[in-house]
Amino acid sequence: MAKRFVIVTGGAGYIGSHTAVTLHEAGFTPVIIDNFSNSKPEVLEGIAKIIGEIPEFHEVDCRSQSVMTDIFQSYAAQGEVIGVIHFAAYKAVGESVKKPLEYFENNIGSTVALLGAMNASGISNLIFSSSCTVYGQPRKIPVNENAPILTAESPYGFTKQACERLIKDACKSNASLSACLLRYFNPIGAHPSALIGELPLGHPSNLIPYLTQAAAGLREPLTVFGNDYPTDDGTCVRDYIHVLDLAAAHVAALQWLEENDASCEAFNLGTGQGKSVSEVIQAFEDANGIVVPYIYGPRRSGDVTAIFADAAKAQRELGWKCERSLEDSLRDAWRWQKKLAE
């Protein structure tokens, strides 16, 4: 049977690596494109151990449109290129405030180049890695896809909004191009094999990588950023989704694009459950039987009080829903942290 290739930009990254594995399990052949700007070659070894073969891989910067076009065309000659899943992007909110031009150049530039390469190669399905950050602090939670897109709080958030817009416009101008804009809530956890997970490169700014490193004694106690928010326990509320559930949604979205005459559709990907920082700490302690050292500190600038998903559209249209609990995610996150320490 002809191979069914799926291009995965940023496929050596956190969500990209788990999606490559899930694509393989669903019968696709993932083609990973990554320049290791925020990942390491070892990730490919982890993927290979899980799927039992060395994944197709190209070390390329996605802004190189002509190189990307050549790669796409070479796979089109070997089988069918079903679509592209575009993860490759810088993703640190705080860093984006310090280096806005680099974020615009990389995140928006790579999306423009990618659309050009897809056009030149006749690839018609695109899945874009977006974020619930496009909603800011929504007036109504759970937030659905019709909520207004608010002025971005950070250059990072702006790049997600800008890419969504340019993909929408590209779809309008090209009837054969279809896209899903997947708005992630807070991805956490790791593959249960602990062969892939979120790589700790530098000081973690996200909650779970910091929490697991603090629990392992590698960092100072976790600082809970603010306990005076207008929530039940005073700490911020988010929607934490297992990275493998998120990965499965990409496969569902790709299959949906193949089967439907869609143009450009946004989907929220979350569990629909809001959990506070204090609840996450408690759940981590209960799931893993260890104590998390933490202190309360001031609020972090730019944090919204509470956000969680109305993911009914993804369930209805894509036939997808989360299968894993918060405890599953926190157990897998801790298993991954212990593996890193070996």
Which residues carry out catalysis?
Answer: 156
CB of residue 234 to ligand UFG, shortest distance in Å: 11
Rounded to whole angstroms, the Cα distance separating 140 from 172 reads: 29
Rounded to whole angstroms, the Cα distance separating 115 from 65 reads: 9
The window from 21-29, 36-44, 130-138, 244-252 that contacts ligand UFG (CB under 6 A) reads: 130-138
If the CB atoms of residues 87 and 210 are measured against ligand UFG, the closer one turns out to be 210
Residues near ligand UFG (CB under 6 A), total:
20
CB of residue 172 to ligand UFG, shortest distance in Å: 26
- The reply to whether 236 sits near ligand UFG by the rule CB under 6 A is yes
Q: Hey, which bits of the chain come out as E strands?
A: 3-9, 29-34, 56-59, 79-86, 125-131, 178-184, 186-188, 222-225, 237-238, 240-242, 264-269, 275-276, 294-297
Tokens representing 184?
């992630």
If the CB atoms of residues 186 and 255 are measured against ligand UFG, the closer one turns out to be 186
- The reply to whether 91 sits near ligand UFG by the rule CB under 6 A is yes
CB of residue 91 to ligand UFG, shortest distance in Å: 5
The window from 48-56, 62-70, 122-130, 203-211 that contacts ligand UFG (CB under 6 A) reads: 203-211
The window from 34-42, 45-53, 101-109, 126-134 that contacts ligand UFG (CB under 6 A) reads: 126-134
86 with 180: CB under 8 angstroms? Answer: no
Return the residues of window 93-112 that contact ligand UFG according to CB under 6 A.
93
The window from 14-22, 58-66, 199-207, 249-257 that contacts ligand UFG (CB under 6 A) reads: 199-207
Rounded to whole angstroms, the Cα distance separating 342 from 91 reads: 27
Neighbouring C-alpha atoms within 13 Å toward the C-beta of 267: 31
Rounded to whole angstroms, the Cα distance separating 96 from 107 reads: 11
Query: Which one among 224, 246, 283, 330 touches ligand UFG, defined by CB under 6 A?
Result: 224
Instruction: Name the residue whose CB lies closest to ligand UFG.
Output: 236
CB of residue 267 to ligand UFG, shortest distance in Å: 16
CB of residue 204 to ligand UFG, shortest distance in Å: 7
Return the residues of window 247-306 that contact ligand UFG according to CB under 6 A.
277, 300, 303
- The reply to whether 89 sits near ligand UFG by the rule CB under 6 A is no
Return the residues of window 155-184 that contact ligand UFG according to CB under 6 A.
157
If the CB atoms of residues 219 and 339 are measured against ligand UFG, the closer one turns out to be 219
Query: Which one among 71, 81, 88, 207 touches ligand UFG, defined by CB under 6 A?
Result: 207
Three-state DSSP class for residue 87:
coil
Q: Are strands 237-238 and 275-276 parallel, antiparallel or unpaired?
A: antiparallel
129 with 89: CB under 8 angstroms? Answer: yes
Residue 302's CB is within 10 A of a number of other CB atoms, namely: 13
In sequence order, what are the residues at sequence separation of 6 or more whose Cβ sits closer than 8 angstroms to the Cβ of residue 122?
76, 176
Rounded to whole angstroms, the Cα distance separating 192 from 259 reads: 31
**Axis crossing angle, helix 14-25 with helix 243-259, rounded to the nearest 10:** 60
Summarize the chain as % helix, strand, coil (round to 5).
45, 20, 40
- The reply to whether 210 sits near ligand UFG by the rule CB under 6 A is yes
| Cα–Cα nearest to 118, from 58, 167, 188 | 167
Rounded to whole angstroms, the Cα distance separating 215 from 135 reads: 32
If the CB atoms of residues 38 and 133 are measured against ligand UFG, the closer one turns out to be 133
Query: Which one among 24, 191, 238, 324 touches ligand UFG, defined by CB under 6 A?
Result: 238
| Cα–Cα nearest to 207, from 323, 294, 332, 99 | 294
- The reply to whether 131 sits near ligand UFG by the rule CB under 6 A is yes
If the CB atoms of residues 83 and 270 are measured against ligand UFG, the closer one turns out to be 270
Three-state DSSP class for residue 71:
helix
Return residues touching ligand UFG (CB under 6 A): 91, 93, 131-133, 157, 186, 205-207, 210, 222-225, 236, 238, 277, 300, 303
